[in-house]
Amino acid sequence: MPDSSLNALIEALRRLPGVGVKTASRMAFHLLQHDREGAQLLAQALQQASTRMRHCSLCHTFTEGEVCATCLDPQRDASKLCIVETPADQAALERTAAYRGRYFVLMGKLSPLDGIGPRDIGLAKLFERATDGAVQEVILATNFTAEGEATAHVIGEALKQRGLKVTRLARGVPAGSELEYVDLGTIAHALVDRR
């Protein structure tokens, strides 16, 4: 019968999103029976990532340094700032190779029902960044969901009041879907057609 360290492993695996007790058991048995090297690798990777990763002081994405590689890149156009919800969304935009400006990663979205307000997604920091003098255009690339649209609206209105040009990804992206799962062509098209 399961011993304590096996139970502890199954319980710990259940903290992963979308993993219940059956899946956690399968994962634990698989690692112990067929891939102990993988288990050790995963342990180290978790340890290192959770101690080393922090937020970029400029754009808020995950990074190991004080400032992330994208913000440090002098090749990128500092006059454009693209606002996304998550690093995964940022990665999707990067894969289109259709955007060479900078980013601000909200690490979430406004969601009053879940108690997530402007402070939780670092809007004060965003406004500071957007009004640094270099930024001339802010591109709202939050998801086309209810919360994403609301977040885009709130940010857009606030930045327009500060005299900035604000655009939104074109509605080429199907409504209700999440950026991370949209095909690259559609995202590229939406970038070109931004309004």
Q: How far apart are CA 57 and CA 160, in angstroms?
A: 24
Give Rg (Cα) of the chain.
Answer: 20
Q: How far apart are CA 61 and CA 44, in angstroms?
A: 22
Smallest separation, CB 20 to its own copies (Å): 12
Spell out the residues 6+ positions from residue 70 whose beta carbon is closer than 8 angstroms to its own: 59, 61, 76, 102, 103
Q: How far apart are CA 189 and CA 182, in angstroms?
A: 11
Which residue lies nearer to its own copies by CB, 103 or 156? Answer: 103
Binds its own copies by CB under 8 A, chosen from 20, 79, 88, 132:
88
Which residue lies nearer to its own copies by CB, 34 or 171? Answer: 34
Residue 22 binds to its own copies (criterion: CB under 8 A)? yes
Residues 156-175 that bind its own copies (CB under 8 A): none
Q: Which stretch binds its own copies (CB under 8 A): 49-57, 114-122, 152-160, 161-169?
A: 49-57
Which residue lies nearer to its own copies by CB, 55 or 153? Answer: 55
Q: What is the DSSP string of 128-158?
A: HHHTSSS--EEEE---SSHHHHHHHHHHHHH
Residues 119-158 that bind its own copies (CB under 8 A): none
Q: How far apart are CA 119 and CA 194, in angstroms?
A: 27
Residue 26 binds to its own copies (criterion: CB under 8 A)? yes
Cβ(85)–Cβ(122) below 8 Å: no
Residue 67 binds to its own copies (criterion: CB under 8 A)? no
Number of residues that bind its own copies (CB under 8 A): 61
Contact residues for its own copies, defined by CB under 8 A? 1-6, 8-9, 11-13, 15-18, 22-23, 25-33, 35-36, 38-50, 52-53, 61-65, 68-70, 86-88, 90-91, 94, 107-108, 180-181
